[in-house]
Amino acid sequence: MTYGYFDDKNFEYVITNPKTPVKWINYIGTIAFGGFVDHTGGALICKGDPALNRITRYIPQLPSSEFKGTTLYVRISGNGQYQVISPYFVPSLNPYDRYECHVGPGYSKIVSEIAGVRTETTIFVPFNDHIEIRDIRITNIDTKEMFLDAIPVNEYTHPDALKQFTNADWVPQTMQSRAIREDSGTCILIQYPFMFRDIKINFFTSSHPVSSFETDRSLFLGDHEYGTWANPQALAGDELSCCEANRGDNLAALMHRFGSVAPGESRRFITLLGQVESITAAMPIIEKYRNHATVDSAFEDMRMFWKNHFEKMQVSTPDADMNRMLNIHNPRQCYITKNWSRYLSLYQLGFGARGIGVRDSSQDVLGVMDRIPAESRDLLKKLLSVQNTNGSSMHQFNPVTMIANEGDSREREDHPHYYGDDHLWAIPAVTSYIKETGDIDFLDENIPFYNDNGKNGNNGIDTVLDHMQRALAFTNANIGAHGLPLLGFADWNDTINLAKGAESMFIACLYGLALTEMIELLDFCGRNNYAHYYRNDFNAIKRVFNKCAWDGEWYVRYFDVDGTPLGSNLNEHGKIYVNAQSWPVIAGFAEDHRGRKALDSAYKLLNTKNGIKLSAPGFNGFAPNKGGITTYPPGAKENGGIFLHTNPWMMIAETIMGNGDRAFEYYTQINPAAKNDKIDEYECEPYVYAQNILADEHPQFGLGRNSWLSGTASWAYQAGTRYILGIRPEYQGLTVDPCIPKQWDGFTVNRRFRGAHYTIEVINPDHVSKGVTLIVVDGKQISGKIIPILDAESSHEVKVILGAG
């Protein structure tokens, strides 16, 4: 069954059935002000910090039919009675004639037709202001006159999101609301916990006069809250009580009475939700956005931003699902993961200290370099500033306070308090940024360190290049019994937490890649007095890796402290891990025959029609000495589930080995757009990647979870654009080296690079996967595969012929 369709022309996915298996969401605004809105109008909005400055009370774990954060009721009056409908379907669940949720970049637009009333609501946060706008139009589509009212509602949380749930004594005694009635008939409801009254207040208002309001939830629902959100008792009477709550569960409801609306006539009004220091500070922004024309132009500005954002690279391949992902939804998801890291989603609830993950964001940023290089640079600086002077890195940080922590590792005294991979990700992130932008001066920018031998504050400062060198030095100095890098608390796989002294093959490979990137960088910028040391280090680690890690048919994943291999044929569970096969190829460690064999073993033992499993077989029982992996049943998440983040690494490895058919098979089998007609099995949004899909050892094989905030977005984008389509920025220019399915006749890419615009047409007359035989730039043949850097603002036609040789 399908629940909607892609409207590529408008950059939208349109949901046409509100009863999706789980809520499908969209992001509005940014981490500075914004959050997510679900397809039934519920919204989780916060300002600056989801943990400590949350505005609406959205409880994801409640059933889908429940009110969550925000809604709108419409009332139709007749015969002295009111019929209450929910234009967003939830919470009244009325039968509808039409329902659409247009999930667009930066906005959701819900259109419904219920009981002769069409309601259209566009929900967004404008670019330059911190305010949630709902632009609402109600139309009488019946044949007779109607009397219509509209009652938008927000339920507030205490700003300290966790306190809301952990303290039902203090929180309700602090919550207060006040109403400011204006001469024009409009009304501004303000709300705050008492201690913030003079510092920051939430406000909710609209552009239309209101006849009454409510701020107390118990009065709105009625009957001591035995009234329900589906049918609030307050809506049975003519007016709301106009209570200014002095405690309790606060909400903001505004009664708009539009009176008689003739057939075909509409009423438009705007609602505004925000947070300011004082009501005086709120007035300019309220007045600005009560104006319909201003709202229209703010929306148009946002549309233009996204149009330009998408236009920076557009592809046209023979595969429509690949096109819509690479042109619209994947760059959009990359932008969101770059902004929100793993902070706030239906799965990452934003209550605690997690904030921005260093490992995660260092990879997310790889997916946005080509479209928002300046923002990427800012994020890189933040990431480097939580590096310790010894070269290791803190694991995560709060982007507002920049206070960092060691993640889950701090909870285990018997484990090292660092993750073996965090610090190394900075190197490919910085080199990728320089390759995209040419901003070599970034290497000399001074960035502070976070921790000076265990002490915070006054921590020293050094250049970006120095940060990168310290990262390499840290791994080089933390080597185990086989001569391979120590695991620390964990590497990319958070859930394998072996005893101190265990070694990680993944870190060895990431170190190998980081060394190669460093050598290439130093050679390019002529600062190669260190390059030969790094070459020696690379050759040494590659040698050790191949000596110890080959298991016969594939590579081993870890050595435990006593030398026991994990990810070996010797193991009963977790015999083979996918990252141990893809990464030796990516790192340039695998000799050709071993690389091919490792990738084929992964194909044979780990691939499923829904994606490649992380490992197999799954552990079947809790084993504290292995760690979190054994908390999952076999086939779920890191315990043999399809952990999608790792799948693009296999695509990349296959393109390096020249197998374009398999790379594309891997691409397609996890492409969410290609799952649009399998939603009853998959369940998640078909317009963004999920983090995981249950694998074939699990009874619910094919079920996706943890959509939106996943490293899958960045890596699927990189695998698609840089490796399958093969358009890769380098220091010297733009490489074109595709690895595509043999049956493709070719494809085109329009891309901006260093300010110039390239239209690249790739033709595949011999039906090969890989092998560039000719590149012609503006009618002139060039040698090699790198299109040189051309003048900014100039446009160029590039023709590329693939062939057998």
Active-site residue list: 494
Give 92 or 396: the residue with its C-beta nearer to ligand NOJ.
396
Number of residues that bind ligand NOJ (CB under 6 A): 9
Restricted to residues 634-653, the positions that interact with ligand NOJ (CB under 6 A) are 638
* C-alpha span between 163 and 167 (Å, rounded): 5
Candidate ranges 258-266, 492-500, 661-669, 729-737; the one touching ligand NOJ (CB under 6 A): 492-500
Contacts by residues 413-418 (CB-CB < 8 Å, ≥ 24 positions apart): 414/499, 414/500, 415/488, 415/489, 415/497, 415/499, 415/500, 416/486, 416/488, 416/489, 416/500, 417/489, 418/392, 418/393, 418/488, 418/489
Give 275 or 398: the residue with its C-beta nearer to ligand NOJ.
398
CB 603 within 8 A of CB 596: no
Candidate ranges 217-225, 277-285, 489-497, 505-513; the one touching ligand NOJ (CB under 6 A): 489-497
* Minimal distance, residue 672 CB to ligand NOJ, in Å: 18
**Which tokens sit at 426?**
């900075």
DSSP 529: T
* Minimal distance, residue 549 CB to ligand NOJ, in Å: 20
Q: Residue 633 interacts with ligand NOJ (CB under 6 A)?
A: no
Candidate ranges 493-501, 505-513, 535-543, 682-690; the one touching ligand NOJ (CB under 6 A): 493-501
Give 232 or 648: the residue with its C-beta nearer to ligand NOJ.
648
* Minimal distance, residue 396 CB to ligand NOJ, in Å: 9
* Minimal distance, residue 478 CB to ligand NOJ, in Å: 19
The Cβ-side half-sphere exposure at 249, using a 13 Å CA radius, reads 16
Give 126 or 357: the residue with its C-beta nearer to ligand NOJ.
357
Restricted to residues 544-603, the positions that interact with ligand NOJ (CB under 6 A) are none
* Minimal distance, residue 491 CB to ligand NOJ, in Å: 8
**Which tokens sit at 256?**
């708009």
* Minimal distance, residue 361 CB to ligand NOJ, in Å: 10
Residue nearest to ligand NOJ (CB): 494
The helix/strand/coil state of 252 is: strand
Alpha-carbon radius of gyration of the chain: 28
Owner of token pair 């001569």: 483
Q: Could you tell me how many helices (H) and strands (E) the chain has, helices first?
A: 19, 44
The helix/strand/coil state of 251 is: strand
DSSP 344: S
The helix/strand/coil state of 440 is: helix
With CB under 6 A as the contact rule, the residue among 86, 92, 495, 615 that binds ligand NOJ is 495
* C-alpha span between 83 and 74 (Å, rounded): 8
Give 422 or 685: the residue with its C-beta nearer to ligand NOJ.
422
Q: What is the DSSP string of 744-767?
A: --EEEEEEEETTEEEEEEEE-TT-
Restricted to residues 333-362, the positions that interact with ligand NOJ (CB under 6 A) are 342, 357, 359-360
Amino acid sitting at position 285: I
Residues near 106 by Cβ (< 8 Å), separated by ≥ 6?
27, 28, 124, 125, 302, 305, 306
Give 310 or 715: the residue with its C-beta nearer to ligand NOJ.
715
* Minimal distance, residue 408 CB to ligand NOJ, in Å: 10
* C-alpha span between 670 and 614 (Å, rounded): 14
Give 207 or 639: the residue with its C-beta nearer to ligand NOJ.
639
Q: Residue 50 interacts with ligand NOJ (CB under 6 A)?
A: no
With CB under 6 A as the contact rule, the residue among 475, 478, 493, 630 that binds ligand NOJ is 493
Report residue 445 CA to chain centroid gap.
28
Candidate ranges 100-108, 144-152, 190-198, 486-494; the one touching ligand NOJ (CB under 6 A): 486-494
Q: Residue 494 interacts with ligand NOJ (CB under 6 A)?
A: yes
Q: Is the dihedral of CA 453, 456, 460, 464 positive or negative?
A: positive
Give 186 or 363: the residue with its C-beta nearer to ligand NOJ.
363
Give 256 or 359: the residue with its C-beta nearer to ligand NOJ.
359
* Minimal distance, residue 173 CB to ligand NOJ, in Å: 37
375-414 mask for ligand NOJ (x: CB under 6 A)? ----------------------------------------
* C-alpha span between 370 and 469 (Å, rounded): 25
CA distances from 137 to 82, 149, 232, 456 (A): 20, 12, 22, 54
* Minimal distance, residue 81 CB to ligand NOJ, in Å: 52
Candidate ranges 162-170, 491-499, 674-682, 759-767; the one touching ligand NOJ (CB under 6 A): 491-499
Site for ligand NOJ, rule CB under 6 A: 342, 357, 359-360, 492-495, 638
